[in-house]
Amino acid sequence: DIQMTQSPSSLSASVGDRVTITCRASQTIITYLNWYQQKPGKAPQLLIYAASSLQSGVPSRFSGSGSGTDFTLTISSLHPEDFAAYYCQQSFSVPRSFGQGTKLEIK
Amino acid sequence: QVQLQESGPGLVKSSETVSLSCTVSGGSISSNYWSWIRQPPGKGLEWIGYIYYSGSTNYNPSLKSRVTISVDTSKKQFSLKLRSVTAADTAVYYCAREDYSTSSGGYYMDVWGKGTTVTVSS
C-alpha cells in the first residue's frame, strides 16, 4: 500500500500570504495525485487533480506541481475563505490513500 | 449536475452491522467508480472502498474482512455494509464519485455527498 505524508500538519498564515503544502508518496505515483479542501462540518472538495490540473470553478490562486513522489499545493495569495484543512490523495493504485491533512489557520 | 445523498441510521450498537446507502441524482450511475470514505471525529480521511457500476469492487485491506459494497443501478443507489462495528468505527461516512480525466490521466473524487454521522454505542 502507498503511504502519503503531508507537511506541515498545521500552518498559521495571514491573508495575502503565499503558502505551500507538500505531500510525499512512499513510492512513485507518477502524477496521480489529487488535492482536496475541507471546511469544518463540510465534505471535502476537489481542488487539483493529476497533480497540476485545476478543477473547474476553483480559483486560479490554487496551483499544484510535482511528479514521482514529491508534490506541492500552492496558494498564491490567501483569501479569508481559504482557511481550511487540505488533503492530498493518490489514485495510482488501490487502496486509495490520503495524507494526514494540513490545517491552515489564520495567524 | 450529479449529486449524492447518504442515508442510514445515526446510531448503531457495538458488534452489530451498519448499513448505509448513497443515492445518485442528476446523472447516471452506470459509469464511474462509486466510493465510500470515512472520517473519525477530529481525524483525517480513510478510503473504505469502491464499486464499479458493473459490480466489481475493491476494498481497503484494513477493513476488507468486515465490508461489503453493493450497487443497485435500477434504484441509482450504492450501499455499504460494515459488520461487527466497534467504537473505532464512529465517524462521518461520505460517498463519492470517482471520475477519470482522459486529458490529464488519473482518477479523482469530484462529487461528494454531505456525509452521514455514524455513532457506535456500547
Length of chain A: 107
What pLDDT score does B102 carry?
A: 87
Give how far A57 is from chain B: nearest CA, Å.
12
Nearest to A26 by CA among A88, A83, A107, A103: A88
Q: How far apart are CA A82 and CA A37, in angstroms?
A: 8
pLDDT digits (tens, 9 = 90+) for B68-116: 999 999 999 999 999 999 999 999 999 999 999 888 889 999 999 999 9
pLDDT digits (tens, 9 = 90+) for A29-71: 999 999 999 999 999 999 999 999 999 999 999 999 999 999 9
What pLDDT score does B27 carry?
A: 94
pLDDT grade, residue A82 (50/70/90)? very high
E strand residue ranges, chain B:
3-7, 11-13, 18-25, 33-39, 46-52, 57-59, 67-72, 77-82, 91-100, 107-112, 116-121
CA quadruple B75, B80, B83, B89: dihedral sign: negative
**Across the interface, do A95 and B60 touch by the CB < 8 Å criterion?**
yes
Q: Are A29 and A92 in contact (CB under 8 A)?
A: yes
**Across the interface, do A49 and B110 touch by the CB < 8 Å criterion?**
yes
What pLDDT score does A60 carry?
A: 98
In 10 A of CB B39, how many CB atoms? 21
**Across the interface, do B108 and A43 touch by the CB < 8 Å criterion?**
no
Which of chain B's residues have a Cβ under 8 Å away from the Cβ of A50?
101, 104-106, 108
Read off the C-alpha cell for B57. Answer: 469492487
What pLDDT score does B76 carry?
A: 96
pLDDT digits (tens, 9 = 90+) for B6-41: 999 999 999 999 999 999 999 999 989 999 999 999
